[in-house]
Amino acid sequence: MIGWLVGRELESAEVLQTDANHKGATYKGTYVSAGAKASPTEVWLAESLDAVATTEAERYGQLHPVGIVSWPTLDPIEHDTEWDPKTGKKNRWNDRASIAVEHLDITDKMTAGLFGAYHIYPNYPDFIVNEPAYDRYKDEFGVLRYGGYLQEFIKTHVRYPAIVAEFGIANGAGVAHLSPDGLNHGGIDEATAGRDILRMQAAIQKEGYAGAIIFEFMDEWAKKTWITEPFKIPFDRRIFWHDVVDPEQNYGLMANESIPPQKPEQTISGSNALSSIEVAHDASYLYLTIHLADGRKPQDCEILVGIDTYDRALGQMSWPKGLGRTASGMEFLLDIRNNEARILVNPSYNIASARYATSLRQDGIFETMNMLVNGKVVTKDGREIPEKRFNMSLMRQGPFDESGNLWNFEGNTVNVRIPWGRLNVTDPSSLRVLNDTRTNLGDPGIDMLKASITDGFVFDGLVLDTHSGAVTGRLNANVASPYIWNGWEETPPYRERLKKSYSIVQDAWRKASEKDKPVRTDFVSAHSQ
């Protein structure tokens, strides 16, 4: 037992409403109190901390340190990149309210002490990467804006110690926030994540925090983040599948990953340069294994695979580049060329442009999915920081030994796995796909968008000569027999795997432990004799 944490991260709206409802509140407790300097929310926290200490003392006859839980959104610092240019006030979401453990008091009876526990990440809120002052912080690897924030925030802690109760780096195939230092919210490969965790730990330790806890030990499939939350439909079934493009589900040092299929579930034959495509699935991905004819190399071809995810009569009916008609209406196009793979989308179905239903098109156009991840900011002095977008279409190449690697090739075979979220599948366990023709919905919330049960997937394909652009192979698309998988109503098969980040952190901590071990005096004495 190290200490007691009270509550969770509070939202700005909760703090503002509590403060408005209880003006003038104070509290004098046996162990923790809150006087005139404290806000009503801080008074409530003092009451809660005092209740914990009182219960422990009365029930168990002992005391442990007690602490509040908070995050940078509620820090007591004013950030110039969080001001609204229209009102001239700091009323953007991440700087509207604050709480400070320094406003609380402990009595002589509270011998165990008080502390603050903070969830501090290197990529959110946006002011951590936007504040100019943080650019000046450097470590042995270069600029580390995260360290700049840590340095500033710890100065607000004078009376009580602070720990970073959550810090970490997410893996997977999706990104929810971009950092100029490369410490993005998601999309980081496992080895880099391990090194980034140690880099953050070093900054936390250097700046005088009392401790730090990596978030997290294992991946959690039930989590969500703002770029994926509207597209998990029904929301309460998100526990039945692993959303590889959701950073919050991929923070672990240990992976909880779906067990990949052992054999194809459908094989579609082709002709000439395109021998066949095999299709399978698990709770994370749709798998496509593309076999080229003997002697054909993927690096000498362009491979186009159209994917019709629902309603044969809707979708893109033409291939790009004037290559003719597709077998049915395609919602997505897998394009592999020049050692890159992209999953492109029918423009009317591009969630990055707030379009949520397919429509009939015959112009051969497919779009890149560029999702907004950092909003535009106008600073207090009028300087504009432009928005940032993440290219969701680009697929990372690599062996299928970690979740963010989505394609690779060996010989004349190309292996592809597409996360369900990249195909607008809202729940693979119940075969639901996004299908909402409404527009101008703003920022949709949980279960606001509509979904339909798919009538199966149809695949069409072409192989082109890289130099001439001529079609050298075709898939024999079977519109009459679409690919359909069996849904499930329980936890799907999965396995645990220690990520590369685990061993990197483990090795560093082992070396630090060995270095800090006390010298064995008996060993020294024996040799000195």
Spatial CA neighbour of 336 closest among 427, 464, 238: 464
Taking residues 50-63, report their average pLDDT. Answer: 98
Q: Give percent of the chain above pLDDT 90.
A: 89
Instruction: Give the pLDDT confidence score for residue 45 in this predicted structure.
Output: 98
Average pLDDT, the chain: 94
Instruction: Give the pLDDT confidence score for residue 410 in this predicted structure.
Output: 95
pLDDT digits (tens, 9 = 90+) for 287-314: 999 999 988 999 999 999 999 999 999 9
Instruction: Give the pLDDT confidence score for residue 515 in this predicted structure.
Output: 83
Region of residue 186 (phi > 0: left; psi between -120 and 50: alpha; otherwise: beta):
left
Which residues have a Cβ under 8 Å from the Cβ of 393 and sit 6 or more positions away? 342, 343, 344, 345, 368, 369, 370
pLDDT digits (tens, 9 = 90+) for 256-295: 999 999 999 999 999 999 999 999 999 999 999 999 998 8
pLDDT band at 13 (very low <50, low <70, confident <90, very high): very high
pLDDT band at 382 (very low <50, low <70, confident <90, very high): confident
pTM over 0.85: yes
Q: Judge residue 492's burial from the number of C-beta atoms within 10 Å of its C-beta, 0-12 exposed, 13-18 middle, 19 or more buried.
A: middle
CA distance 7 to 213: 17
Q: Work out the end-to-end distance of the chain between its first and last CA atoms, rounded to an integer number of angstroms.
A: 44
Question: What is each CA distance from 141 to 179, 200, 413, 439, in whole angstroms?
Answer: 15, 11, 39, 46
Instruction: Give the pLDDT confidence score for residue 124 in this predicted structure.
Output: 94
Instruction: Give the pLDDT confidence score for residue 518 in this predicted structure.
Output: 61
Burial 348-363 (b: 16+ CB within 10 A, else e): bbbbbeebbbbeebee
Structure-block tokens of residue 452: 């339909």
pLDDT band at 526 (very low <50, low <70, confident <90, very high): very low
CA distance 343 to 75: 40
Structure-block tokens of residue 266: 């459908």
pLDDT digits (tens, 9 = 90+) for 337-380: 999 999 999 999 999 999 999 999 999 999 999 999 999 988 88
Taking residues 449-456, report their average pLDDT. Answer: 98
Residue 148: pLDDT above 60? Answer: yes
Spatial CA neighbour of 279 closest among 464, 417, 406, 393: 417
- 8 Å CB contact between 315 and 358: yes
Which residues have a Cβ under 8 Å from the Cβ of 386 and sit 6 or more positions away? 376
Residue in this structure with the two tokens 């897998």, named with its chain if needed: 334
Which residues have a Cβ under 8 Å from the Cβ of 19 and sit 6 or more positions away? 39, 40, 41, 97
- 8 Å CB contact between 116 and 4: no
Phi and psi, residue 151, nearest 5°: -65, -40
- 8 Å CB contact between 434 and 341: no
Which residues have a Cβ under 8 Å from the Cβ of 58 and sit 6 or more positions away? none
- 8 Å CB contact between 417 and 406: yes
